[in-house]
Amino acid sequence: MNTTFPDAERKEHGYHRGQVDEFLARARASFEEATESDDRVTSAEIRRTAFAVRRSGYSARHVDAAMDRLEEVFFERERRARIAEVGEEAWWEDTRQLLSELRGRLGRPKGKRFKRRSIFASGYRRAQVDAFLDLVDAMLQGHGSLTTADVRSVVFHTEWRGYNEDQVDALLDAVIVLMLSTR
């Protein structure tokens, strides 16, 4: 029996043990591997990985914290490899370009920052997304603070004709990349 993480509390659901153990084994093998492979785990994959929820699973809180740390370790490794490949100035130019793109999106009027879903579909609640993006904007201007965990764990309710989830999720990914890039 693997005791990597504590069990979820008795009345709570937790992450599927087999899925967590399998992913972490793959991540460990990928990290220890000296060469590139098609099955190599990346920081982006870690950020997007989701596990099934079930009774008597691993504590989601503990697994999420470990996944956050794992993403940061993989990102730093990828950053160093990219700097070795293109140079530090090119790395920072890419980071400045990402910041510019984020500011462009954040500068749009509230309610119009993303494409809206069709009249027959639901998306993220616009007011909630806009409120969170105001916090991101304040952080980028040096007037507030957010952690990568705050960005990773934000949850938005849905509404008819809400914001397109894929666009919002892509922006949140970019915010995390920017935060990790500027540490």
Burial classification of residue 127, based on how many CB atoms lie within 10 Å of its CB (0-12 exposed, 13-18 middle, 19 or more buried): middle
Domain count, the chain: 2
Task: Please report whether residue 169 resides in a domain.
Answer: yes
Burial classification of residue 47, based on how many CB atoms lie within 10 Å of its CB (0-12 exposed, 13-18 middle, 19 or more buried): buried
Both 113 and 163 in a single domain? yes
Q: Give me the domain span that covers residue 23.
A: 14-85
Q: How many other β-carbons are positioned within 10 Å of the β-carbon of residue 19?
A: 17
| pLDDT tens per residue across span 36-77 | 666 789 999 998 898 999 888 899 889 999 999 999 999 999
Both 135 and 163 in a single domain? yes
What is the percent of the chain with per-residue pLDDT over 70, rounded to a whole number? 96
Query: Tell me, what's the pLDDT at 182?
Result: 86
| pLDDT tens per residue across span 161-176 | 999 999 999 999 999 9
d(C-alpha 158, C-alpha 117), whole Å: 11
Both 63 and 27 in a single domain? yes
Query: Tell me, what's the pLDDT at 40?
Result: 85
Select from 158, 108, 165, 106 the least CA-distant residue to 132. Answer: 106
Indicate the pairing of strand 14-15 with strand 53-54. Answer: antiparallel
Please tell me whether residue 76 adopts helix, strand or coil conformation.
helix
| pLDDT tens per residue across span 136-146 | 999 998 888 89
Q: What is the mean pLDDT of residues 18-33?
A: 90
Cα 76 to Cα 25, 31, 135, 159, 177: the distances in Å are 20, 12, 25, 37, 11
Query: Tell me, what's the pLDDT at 1?
Result: 41
For the chain, the straight-line distance linking the first and the last C-alpha, in angstroms and rounded, comes to 38
Query: Tell me, what's the pLDDT at 37?
Result: 63
Query: Tell me, what's the pLDDT at 11?
Result: 82
Both 110 and 39 in a single domain? no
Both 52 and 76 in a single domain? yes
Looking at 14-161, list the stretches that DSSP marks H as alpha helix, in order from N- to C-terminal side: 17-32, 43-48, 60-86, 88-106, 126-140, 148-153
